[in-house]
Amino acid sequence: MISPRDMIPRHETLSSIFFKVPFLLLLVHYFSCMEFAYAASSTTSSSGRNQAEALLDWKASLDSQSQSRLSSWVGNNACNSWVGISCTNNPGVVTNMTLTHLGLKGTLDAFNFSAFTDLLILNFWNISLYGNIPANVTNLTKLKQLRLCTNHFTGNIPPEIGVLTNLEFISFCQNYLTGFIPASIGNLTKLSILYLWSNQLSGSIPQEIGLLRSLHKLSMSWNLFMGTIPATIRNLTNLSSLELWNNQLSGSLPQEIGLLHSINEIFLNQNFLSGTIPSSIGNLTNVYSLILAMNNFSGTLPASIGKLTGLSDLRLQVNLFSGVLPLEMNNLTQLKTLHLSGNQLTGHLPQDICLGGLLVNLTVASNHFSGPIPKTLRNCTNLVRLRLDWNNFRSNISEDLGVYPDLDYVDLSYNNLYGEVSSSWGQCKNMTSLKISGNNISGKLPSELGNAVQLRLIDLSWNHIEGAIPPELGNLNLLFNLSLNSNQLSGTIPPELKMLSSLEYLNLAENNFSGSIIKELGECLRLSYMNLSHNKFVERIPPEIGHLHLLRYLDLSHNLLAGEIPSELGFLRVIEMLNLSHNNLSGLIPATFDRLSSLTSINISYNELEGRLPNCKAFQEASFDEYRNNSGLCGELSGLRPCYTTKRSKPMTQKTKMVIAITVIGCLLFSFSIGGCTFLTYERVRRKQQKAVVPEHIDLFTVLGHDGKLLYENIMEATEGFDSKYLIGEGGHGTVYKAIMATDRVVAVKKLHASEAGNLLNLKAFESEICVLTKIRHRNIAKLYGFCPHPKQSFLVYEYIEKGSLRKVFTNEEQAMELDWTKRLNIVKGLASALAYLHHDCSPPIVHRDVSSSNILLDREWEAHLSDFGTAKLLMPDSSHWTSLAGNFGYAAPEIAFTMKVDEKSDVYSFGVVTLEIITGKHPEELISSLSSPPPSSLPSSSSSPPLSVNRPALLMELLDQRIPPPRNRVANGLACITRIELSCMNINPSSRPTTKQVSFELIPRRPPLEQPLSSIRLDDLLPSIHNTDEAQIS
């Protein structure tokens, strides 16, 4: 046997053997490492190829244009200069995908996330992707940043998101995500930034949000979150920014918010939050922005707010805060923006409000502040925006206000301010708006005002300013609104005003101007509104006024104008309102007025005019009050003598006279015979009726109208006994049928429900009321021809309006799209005009009681006609009760539930709801519920009420009916004006709603162009003027 020892060569020593063994081991290790390196290189190469293939497969799923934008994605190495791809940590392995602003069209359905297990950053911001966020995104287990903001993703946030425990940054903002925030988000304990804003996420904010202790920024604004802010928010001690604005959050602000010691910004505006601001807010000493606007917060502001000495932006507008401001607010010397408008705050403003000299925006409008303007405001030279309007400030503006080089907008209207308009306003070179209306300002207008060449709007109306208009105002060639009405100005209008090439609105009414109306006004070619009424202008109306082809409103009433009406006024083709009343005008009305097809309102009363009224709809439908006291006028309207065309004729012969005499005598004898027979027949029938027992509703019919009688039998024949094929509508009081009479005349017949007909306890009184209603004539009111009481069928007969009700139009997609913004604005104006006529031009006033989109009918020209006016009261004599309006609950004013009272202001509220419906294209039930305020019984007795609290949407554009393109230019301007008015109509306090006369006046196209794009107008910008509308404001 050979032993191991024998295998060793004899010539080798033991030491040489010990030398070779380590060498052999080293050689084995070397080859092992080479084999491992080769295997690793092979794996990396394989992984790189897999990633390239995965990316190319996803690229192929996109549209051709998107693929062209990824033209660098070729080959099998994604790390070789492929756009948006980075392989920084491990060559050949993708760790960063950043594709932004590329406009790629496609989904993530074909994206193989499992191929990118080493990915750290996935940034697909603003590349137009759509579809769902796939659940297999959770395969990216090393991912730190997931950015999918500004795309079109829909569906839910994947519940599995909690698997990605390395995430530090999530951005899903500006998509269309729905559903809840998954509770698994609490697993992402490394998360520093969470952006979910501008989606459609709903539900409550999960308690698990409090587990994200590393969170620095939390933004979930512009969603549909409900419920309360979770108390677990106290754990987010590293949070620097909290943004939850524009949701539907409710409840109080948790006391625990005071534990967020690192917080810099808090945005909770535009929710339904209520209660008081907790005193713990004073612990947030690092906060510089505190935005709680447009909620339902109430009570007084806590004194601890004065501890926020670093605060630069404080916005609490449109809430229910009351009481005085704490003196500690004098400590807020770093303030740049203070917005407190639309509350119920009282007392004085802090005297050191601008002690730091940094204040840029001070807006405290629509409160009950009193006392002087703070002295520190005089030296607040950084001011850009100053709004003190709708308060009770009493101060001398000549002394308490200074020079503000950067001032852009100032509104001091409707206070008790006095003093004079300072010449220093002329040094405000950037000022665009100067409003000091409704005060006690006196003195003269300074000529230096003409140096503020950026001015677009001057409103100094309703003061005691005297003297002449300085010619220097002609330098303001950007000015589009000049309102100097209701002062004591005198002299003549300076001809320099012709240089106001941008002027659209000119109101000089109710002053002491004299002389002639200057012809130079005809050079202000952009004028759409001109009111020179209630002055002492003499001589003739300058024919140059006819050059103002954009003029829609012209009021020259209550002057001393004489001579004939110039025919050139007939060239005002878009004129809608013309008032020439109370002058000394004479002669014929020009024939050119026949062409004024846009004219809706005319008043020529109290002049010396003569001849025939123009063949123009506004003239033909005018009431007697609008042309009374012109003895020479003639026409077919009530109160006017007929117009005769006479020709010289030959003398009658004796034979002719004899024939006429015989004819007359014969007619008289025949009439007497017929009358006698009729009398005998009547007596015979009357005696029979006295003996017989008959129902109270006798078998008679009374359908009255200026076109004669419409017989009951004809109605029954025309509708084939009210067959359903003639049915065109159904309302709370009856069903409506279309009836084509034998004369081819088309009428609408409302057959009353049996219960309604049974309420006619006093038929004679009812018919008397109907007779009053049949005499109503207005272009925007559906004509009521009369009423037919009958034991079987009782019905009302109306003018037939072709397109049916507004509600019916909105339910028809094709018709709704045809109803563009111009038509919709005209419908609103027509409805306002109709209600103003019923409330203010009828004696006694007629309350509609049932204004809704079902009672607004549209003709073939899309013009509105209000129907069922006044009949709600007639059909339901006890309809002051809430139950009588249950059929249109969504339109009824809220106070009816408390007061059981229906009056003109109830109609005004309903008008506001209908207007909102016209803007949104549907009944605004959800928005109405957000316009919540206390019941009338809890309101203060003053005429100023808390503004509406509009919580969602924030932008006016969000309200608009999306079925039609957004409005532009003048139409957009009108829409903003209408929205402002309808919000005022829906004020919770009836006494603070405007009258329909005021509404109709405000709807006249006289507003200047928008000061900002329609897309950026917020609803809170439209709220400050929703109350305190004074009848005296309407000239």
Spatial distance between the Cα atoms of 131 and 105, rounded to a whole number of angstroms: 11
Spatial distance between the Cα atoms of 688 and 679, rounded to a whole number of angstroms: 14
Q: Are 969 and 1006 in contact (CB under 8 A)?
A: no
Half-sphere exposure of 362 (CA within 13 A, CB side): 26
CA angle 1008, 1009, 1012 (to 5 degrees): 130
The whole-angstrom distance between residue 766's C-alpha and the CA centroid of its chain comes to 40
Spatial distance between the Cα atoms of 404 and 452, rounded to a whole number of angstroms: 12
751 is in an annotated binding site: yes
Q: Which amino acid type is present at position 191?
A: L
Half-sphere exposure of 745 (CA within 13 A, CB side): 13
Q: What is the 3-state secondary structure (H, E, C) of 263-278?
A: CCEEECCCCEEEECCC
Q: Are 107 and 134 in contact (CB under 8 A)?
A: no
Spatial distance between the Cα atoms of 747 and 758, rounded to a whole number of angstroms: 24
Task: Determine the 3-state secondary structure of 39 from DSSP.
Answer: helix
Spatial distance between the Cα atoms of 54 and 94, rounded to a whole number of angstroms: 11
Q: What is the DSSP letter of 406?
A: T
Q: Is 699 known to be catalytic?
A: no
Q: Are 129 and 92 in contact (CB under 8 A)?
A: no
Q: What is the DSSP letter of 837?
A: I
Which among 313, 850, 907, 961 is annotated as catalytic?
850
Give the H or E element holding residue 86: strand 85-86
Return the residue matching tokens 């004013």: 893
Q: Are 136 and 111 in contact (CB under 8 A)?
A: no
- DSSP string covering 200-268, please? ---SBPPGGGGG-TT--EEE--SS--EEPPPGGGGG-TT--EEE--SSEEEEEPPGGGGG-TT--EEE-
Spatial distance between the Cα atoms of 623 and 637, rounded to a whole number of angstroms: 8
- Closest CA relative to residue 794, chosen from 715, 869, 872: 715
- Closest CA relative to residue 995, chosen from 953, 1029, 972: 1029
Where does residue 1004 fall: left (phi above 0), alpha (psi -120 to 50 degrees), or beta otherwise?
A: beta
- Closest CA relative to residue 597, chosen from 622, 621, 618: 618
In this structure, what token pair is assigned to residue 908? 């005004």
Spatial distance between the Cα atoms of 749 and 734, rounded to a whole number of angstroms: 10
Which active-site residues does the annotation give?
A: 850
Binding-site entries: 751
Binding-site entries for ATP: 751
